[in-house]
Amino acid sequence: MRKYEMMLCLSPIIDSNKADAFTELVLEKVVQEGGKIENIDVMGRRKLAYPIEKKTEAVYVVATYTATSETSLEIERRLKLNDEVLRFLTIRK
């Protein structure tokens, strides 16, 4: 198991309150595979440096979790399929 940190830029139509629940829903695969979600930090709505899909703001979320590399790849696959996610970045700590 490895420790990962993921930053999400979510569509501004999601408010900050629902962003935490959305992130837990996406990361449910971690718990199913025996990993652990350590922290989910909803940073709130912020202005983007440049427009993405004609949106100038996004809800930023930072999540840290422990999982296998296969689980992390599956989470990234789920994020690519979701229209609520504007951008994401996963790094191994």
Query: Across all residues in the chain, what is the average pLDDT?
Result: 93
Residue 15 confidence (pLDDT): 82
pLDDT above 90: residue 21? no
Give the DSSP H or E segment for 70.
helix 69-81
What are the structural domain ranges in the chain?
A: 2-92
pLDDT above 80: residue 16? no
CB 14 within 8 A of CB 82: no
* Domain covering 2-92 in this structure, CATH number: 3.30.70.60
Q: What is the pTM of this model?
A: 0.89
Amino acid in the structure at residue 46: R
Q: How far is CA 90 from CA 14, 17, 38, 54, in A?
A: 21, 22, 15, 24
Residue 17 confidence (pLDDT): 78
Cβ-proximal residues to 71 (8 Å cutoff; 6+ apart), any chain: 29, 30, 33, 35
